[in-house]
Chain A
Amino acid sequence: MRTSNIVALGFALILFSLPGAVLAKGNAENGKKIVESRSLGNCAACHVVPGMEFPGDVGPDLAKSMEGYTERDRDTVRQWVWDARQFNPDTIMPPFGPNKLLTKEQVDDVVEYLFSIKKKN
């Protein structure tokens, strides 16, 4: 048990430190569902999200934000969704990863979706 945990942790550490390009690609279609779902991402509570009615204006327009990121920034975008406190310790944005609001795979899917709305705009 112990050792396997440590091995898993090691793997996770290696994974996170790899450059963005090697990170697992998610599923944009699934990501869209997570972003729009009230019980999962609920991102429109705070952000303008393409196609969502009555969005909040607490955070920036996500399509606009994505204009500022290229494929090389995939890891940065992922870290924003995983735990925005890394960029702003007093952020209102929930720490989706650490607080188990979304799984690793779900975060990958959300990131894939974010890059897909970038292409469309």
Chain B
Amino acid sequence: MSRFSRAFVLLACAGVLTAGAWKYSFAGEEAAPRIKEYTPNISSQEYEKRYNAVYGKSTEKMAEEGNPADFMLDDGKDLFGKAEGSAGKSCASCHGANGEKLKGVAATFPKYDPAINGINTVALQINRCRQEHMGAAPLKYETYDQLALELYVKSLSNGVPIKVSIDGPAKPFYEAGKAYYYKRHGQFNFSCAICHVKYAGHMMRANLLSSNRHHADHWPAYRLDWGAAGSFQKRFRGCNKNVRQEVLPFQCETYRDLELYLTYQANGLPIQVPGFKM
């Protein structure tokens, strides 16, 4: 091959590659059906059985000692009633002294919101309320007050079955979340799905790989491993880090799409916050 023809082949390859990337980034819905979803490795009942066999003793002990995040929940309730910002309002000014008007609402989150042309989460909505209705600064994600408020708002839906919609305009965002969940990346070339769907119920070293059906119903949660409470998205970042993938910012579009994807998997399960995990 001459130098010229070699260069030409290289250019042609590069062209095909960029065209591919272009198509992928602009035709989310079209690209999506290429994902072959795994059938879950085990049923919910079988997973519970294995969970109790592996962690039963520690879970019992944790139940006896009580969830440290219960205190955070109380603080969240106080913050809910506290006026902040230039409008002199609190969350309670609009949503009722005990959050009556928000009962069951968190069970429908995350959800599509045309105002942001994307997926709205409870954490994001709290900050939007602060900025748009209270004239207050947004709370920094994962700070104590931010988590406490999110926890309290979600607790107003405790016991209510999760019911998120992926119809209509929500669909492409759901598909984007699924695409991320199935995408192989990072140095180990893992996807979320390979561990939490295909091999759910297997032991990875001393860890029972959990089934993603049960991921969305208990966050924010207190984790012994963190020695603190944290959000669902903090847990995403933990797994990203453990498997040497890029860690993304809280409430970025990808994590909100991912949260929608995972919460949809938990549809029908009652919300139970704060969770208490190892």
Contacts and interface: CB of A to CB of B under 8 A. Distances in A.
A73 interface: no
Contact of B190 (A54, A55, A92): A92
Contact of B205 (A44, A99, A100): A44
A105 interface: no
Contacts of B206: 54
A92 B199 CA distance: 9
B203 A58 contact: yes
Contacts of B194: 92
B133 interface: no
A56 interface: yes
Interface residues of B, number: 14
A45 interface: yes
A28 interface: no
A100 B187 contact: yes
A112 B203 CA distance: 27
A56 B203 contact: yes
B204 interface: yes
A55 B188 contact: no
B156 to A, nearest CB: 40
A94 B202 contact: no
A57 B188 contact: no
B198 interface: yes
B202 A58 contact: yes
Nearest to A84: B189
Contacts of B203: 54-58
A94 B205 contact: no
Interface residues of A, number: 15
Interface string B197-219: 01100111110010000000000
Given A45-B204, A45-B205, A92-B194, A58 B187 contact: no
B196 to A, nearest CB: 12
B187 A46 contact: no
B204 A99 contact: no
A101 B190 CA distance: 13
Interface string A84-121: 00000000101100011100000000000000000000
Interface string A40-69: 001011100000001111100000000000
A108 B171 CA distance: 48
A94 B188 contact: yes
Nearest to A98: B189
Contact of A58 (B188, B189, B199): B199
Nearest to A92: B194
A45 B209 CA distance: 11
Interface in B180-200: 187-190, 194-195, 198-199
A94 B199 contact: no
A46 B205 CA distance: 6
Given A57-B202, A92-B194, 5 more contacts: A55-B203, A56-B203, A58-B199, A58-B202, A101-B187
Interface of A: 42, 44-46, 54-58, 92, 94-95, 99-101
Interface of B: 187-190, 194-195, 198-199, 202-206, 209
21 contacts: A42-B205, A45-B205, A46-B204, A54-B203, A54-B206, A56-B202, A56-B203, A56-B204, A57-B203, A58-B199, A58-B202, A58-B203, A58-B204, A58-B209, A92-B190, A92-B195, A92-B199, A94-B187, A99-B187, A99-B189, A100-B187
